[in-house]
C-alpha cells in the first residue's frame, strides 16, 4: 500500500509529513487545554487529506470516553456518509496522528476498525495501549484485525510540556480537587 505522503507531497519526506500532521494534532491539543480538557488532539488522514480532526471533549460531554481519537472516528463516519464511501474501506487506509499515545480503549477502537497505523508524540504512562500499560497494538485478540503499526516519539517533548501544563492546573470536573493538589506536589517533588 502506498503511503499517502509518498506521492502527495513532492518535496517532503515522510518524517516531515508526520511532523506536519502531528503539529496539526498538537494545535487541537492546545485548544483542548484552553477549554480545560486533557490536551490531546488527533487528525485522521485519508488519501492525503485530513478528513477528521478533533480533540479531547471529556469534560464538555461529561463522557470519559470522548477522547480525540473517538471524536475523530465519528467524524470519519460522517465524512463517509457525506461522500458515499464505504467506511470499512476508508478505515483500512486511514492514517492516524495524535500527540499522545492512544489509551487502551482508543488503541482497541483502532484495532476494531482495522486502521493500519498510528503516529504519536509522547507515551501515555497511565493509560497507554501501545506499549506503555498494555500492548493492544499487537496483541493477538479474537476479532481484531491486523496489528497496528506504531510510530512514536514524534515531537514528544512538545506533547509532554503541554501535559505538564495541564497537570499544573486542575480538572474542574474532578470530584476531589484536594487529591489533585496532593498529586501535584508529589509531581513537583519528583520532577
Partner 1 sequence: MSEKKRKHVSPDHKNYVNKTVRSTKDEDISKTNVDLHISPWYLTPVLADKYYQHTESENVYVAEVLDQKMTAQLVKTLSSQYPLTGLSHVKRVRARANGKKNAGLEIIICRAIDVNINHLDSSSTSIQTEKIMKTDVSHLNALSEFCKLFVVPKYPPLTRKQYEQSSQLWPVQFHEDKYIARVMNNQVFTTSELNFIEQNMSLALKLAMVSKCHVGAVVVDPATKTVVARAHDFRNKHTLQHAVMVAIDLVAQGQNGGAWNRYGLQIGPNLQEAESLNDSCIKRENHTTSQSLDECCGKDCRLTKTSPYLCTGYDLYVTREPCTMCAMALVHSRIRRVFYGVSTPWGALGSRYKIHVWEGLNHHFEVWKGVLEKQCQL
Pairing of strands 41-46, 117-122: unpaired
C-alpha gyration radius of the chain: 17
- By CB under 8 A, name the one of 43, 98, 103, 154 that touches partner 1: 103
User: Which residue is listed with cell 461529561?
Assistant: 62
Sheet containing strand 117-122, strands side by side: 49-55, 41-46, 95-100, 117-122, 149-151
The whole-angstrom separation of Cα 5 and Cα 165 is: 32
Number of residues that bind partner 1 (CB under 8 A): 37
- By CB under 8 A, name the one of 35, 63, 182, 188 that touches partner 1: 63
- By CB under 8 A, name the one of 87, 93, 151, 155 that touches partner 1: 87
- By CB under 8 A, name the one of 71, 117, 123, 124 that touches partner 1: 71
Please tell me which residue in 3, 69, 101, 140 is annotated as part of the active site. Answer: 69
Q: Does 113 bind partner 1 (CB under 8 A)?
A: yes
The whole-angstrom separation of Cα 36 and Cα 167 is: 11
Q: Does 172 bind partner 1 (CB under 8 A)?
A: no
Region near partner 1 per CB under 8 A, out of 12-20, 37-45, 103-111, 158-166? 103-111
The whole-angstrom separation of Cα 50 and Cα 22 is: 12
The whole-angstrom separation of Cα 154 and Cα 152 is: 6
Q: Which residues of the shown chain bind partner 1 in the complex (CB under 8 A)?
A: 57, 60-66, 70-71, 73-74, 77-78, 87-88, 91, 103-105, 108-109, 112-113, 126-127, 129, 133-134, 136, 141-144, 173-175
Q: Which residues are marked as active site?
A: 69
Amino acid at each position: 500500500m502506498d503511503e499517502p505522503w509518498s506521492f502527495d507531497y513532492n518535496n517532503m519526506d515522510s518524517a516531515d509529513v508526520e511532523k506536519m500532521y502531528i503539529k496539526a494534532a498538537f494545535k487541537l491539543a492546545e485548544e483542548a487545554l484552553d477549554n480545560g480538557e486533557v490536551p490531546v488532539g488527533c487528525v485522521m488522514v485519508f488519501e492525503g487529506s485530513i478528513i477528521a480532526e478533533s480533540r479531547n471533549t471529556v469534560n464538555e460531554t461529561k463522557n470519559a470516553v470522548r477522547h480525540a481519537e473517538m471524536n475523530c472516528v465519528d467524524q470519519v463516519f460522517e465524512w463517509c456518509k457525506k461522500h458515499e464511501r464505504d467506511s470499512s474501506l476508508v478505515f483500512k487506509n486511514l492514517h492516524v496522528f495524535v500527540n499522545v499515545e492512544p489509551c487502551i480503549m482508543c488503541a482497541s477502537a483502532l484495532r476494531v476498525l482495522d486502521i493500519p497505523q498510528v503516529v504519536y508524540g509522547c507515551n501515555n504512562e497511565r493509560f497507554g495501549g501501545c506499549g506503555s500499560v498494555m500492548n493492544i497494538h499487537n496483541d493477538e485478540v479474537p476479532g481484531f484485525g491486523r496489528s497496528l503499526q506504531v510510530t512514536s516519539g514524534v515531537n514528544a517533548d512538545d506533547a509532554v510540556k503541554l501535559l505538564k501544563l495541564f497537570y499544573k492546573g486542575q480538572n474542574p470536573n474532578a470530584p476531589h480537587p484536594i487529591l489533585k493538589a496532593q498529586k501535584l506536589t508529589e509531581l513537583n517533588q519528583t520532577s
